[in-house]
């Protein structure tokens, strides 16, 4: 009987045969998503880069695979009790789609940080069998509420990652990669949140035969690096605070079951900055026509963030999801510009006299510098007035000349550091 597991290591580890069984169960449910060669990324990496487009699933992410494999394995009595789940959005869509298809009542708990687009999509996919409850600020808060609801009602809790059936379902992504490529890739790059996809990929690649196994690399956001923390500690640990921007991978604590599999079967887990993820999202959209959500861009971001790839190697990156709310693109652009060193903020103390601003524009700003923010309130009882100024540069190399002109201006100018509370308020 499928139930969430709580073990420090995989007492009953799944095998490639379990992934094969999941693939058979999913054959008429999921889309065999394209495996696309990408010339731009191949040139960037000095390798042959392929993208596995899980953003093209009916629920626009790979999460349907694990959710369906789990729920379809329930007995009739368990289905009659209904199911409960917690999710940052994508797992919920997989559960909602599955429950509508199988006629199972479900109650879905979402953290308040879940984008509106995902909430609306869950409701549309789940129809009348799905009830949505918004609870807490993080996935872990929603998970706690869902677990309590399942206990009270006797419903089955559908885990987003920490269960053999879910892991086996997610592992079918890697299985398809091998089938479509016609061989095992040299490197398989996967995003990491709770560890279900990484664990499943590790299992799927573990049975490729001597000398044929891919190097499996997991990628998680620097602001929510719970798997890296677990590997460093030798066991799952709970992070005190996380950056929830990469909402599909913002997990405070990885699964106990998935941790053991990732530890044993995944070759490397690396972190990438959220700003780099934003840059990748914009490049995928503007250059390749791919709408990736933050978590969906994690694997591709690794290519420009220090992932060591042998020249000419075959590299497959899983684009895990495309559930991105268009209203977030302003923040995506802002974070990308800051990460690229093209956007900077300053507190400038202007003399409260005519021509002060004109002097700043003429003597401090360079030809390619653009003021994107200017907040100033005149103080009648003071000789100076502070202004918050945001400046976007044409190229990163323009920063040092700008700072030199500021120093020579005679104005008191303070540059806001990326770690300051004021900066976090702006970005």
Active site members: 63, 320
Q: Alpha-carbon distance 188 to 182, whole Å?
A: 14
Q: Kindly state the DSSP code that residue 323 receives in the 8-state scheme.
A: -
253: left (phi over 0), alpha (psi -120 to 50) or beta: beta
DSSP-derived secondary structure for 187-212: EEEEE-SSSHHHHHHHHHHTTS-TTT
Burial of 333-372, coded b for 16+ CB within 10 Å and e otherwise, reads ebbbbbbeebbbbbebbbeeeeebeeebeeebbeeebeee
Best CA proximity match to 63, nearest among 252, 296, 292: 296
Q: Which residues make Cβ contacts (< 8 Å) with residue 269, sequence separation at least 6? A: 192, 198, 217, 218, 219, 220, 227, 228, 231, 262
Q: Alpha-carbon distance 77 to 108, whole Å?
A: 20
Best CA proximity match to 305, nearest among 44, 40, 43: 44
Q: Alpha-carbon distance 66 to 92, whole Å?
A: 11
- Length reported for the chain: 427
Q: What is the largest CA-CA distance in the chain?
A: 79
Collapse the DSSP code of 422 into the 3-class scheme (helix H, G, I; strand E, B; otherwise coil) and give the result: helix
Collapse the DSSP code of 133 into the 3-class scheme (helix H, G, I; strand E, B; otherwise coil) and give the result: strand
Best CA proximity match to 320, nearest among 63, 39, 24: 63
Helices (H) and strands (E) in the chain, counts: 17, 14
């Amino acid at each position: 009987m499928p139930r969430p597991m709580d073990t420090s290591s995989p007492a009953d580890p799944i095998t490639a045969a379990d992934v094969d069984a999941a693939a058979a169960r999913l054959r008429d449910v999921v889309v065999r998503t394209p495996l696309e060669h990408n010339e731009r990324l191949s040139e960037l990496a000095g390798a042959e880069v392929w993208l596995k487009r899980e953003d093209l699933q009916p629920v626009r992410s790979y999460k349907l695979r694990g959710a369906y494999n789990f729920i379809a394995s329930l007995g009739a009595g368990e289905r009659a009790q209904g199911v409960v789940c917690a999710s940052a959005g994508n797992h919920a869509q997989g559960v909602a789609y599955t429950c509508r298809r199988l006629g199972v009542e479900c109650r879905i708990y979402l953290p308040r940080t879940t984008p509106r687009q995902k909430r609306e999509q869950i409701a549309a996919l789940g129809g009348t069998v799905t009830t949505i409850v918004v609870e807490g600020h993080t996935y872990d808060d929603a998970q706690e509420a869902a677990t309590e609801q399942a206990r009270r009602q006797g419903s089955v809790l559908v885990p987003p990652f920490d269960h053999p059936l879910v892991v086996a379902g997610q592992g079918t992504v890697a299985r398809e990669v091998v089938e479509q490529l016609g061989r095992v890739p040299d490197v398989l790059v996967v995003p990491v949140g709770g560890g279900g996809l990484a664990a499943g990929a590790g299992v799927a690649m573990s049975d490729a035969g001597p000398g044929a196994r891919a190097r499996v690399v997991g990628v998680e956001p620097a602001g929510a690096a719970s798997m890296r923390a677990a590997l460093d500690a030798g066991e799952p640990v709970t992070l005190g605070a996380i950056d929830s921007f990469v909402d599909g991978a913002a997990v405070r604590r990885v699964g106990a079951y998935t941790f053991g599999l990732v530890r044993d079967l995944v070759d490397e887990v690396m972190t990438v900055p959220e700003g780099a993820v934003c840059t990748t999202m914009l490049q995928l959209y503007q250059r390749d026509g791919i709408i990736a959500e933050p978590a969906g861009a994690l694997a591709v971001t690794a290519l420009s963030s220090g992932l060591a790839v042998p020249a000419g190697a075959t590299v497959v990156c899983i684009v895990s999801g495309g559930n991105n709310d268009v209203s977030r693109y302003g923040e995506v652009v802002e974070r990308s510009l800051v990460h690229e060193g093209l956007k900077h903020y300053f507190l400038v103390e202007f003399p409260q006299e005519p021509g002060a601003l004109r002097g700043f524009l003429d003597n401090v700003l360079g030809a390619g510098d653009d003021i994107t923010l200017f907040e100033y309130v005149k103080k009648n009882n003071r000789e100076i007035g502070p202004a918050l100024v945001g400046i976007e540069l044409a190229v990163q190399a323009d920063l040092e000349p700008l700072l030199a002109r500021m120093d020579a201006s005679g104005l008191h100018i303070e540059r806001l550091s990326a770690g300051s509370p004021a900066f976090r308020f702006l970005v």
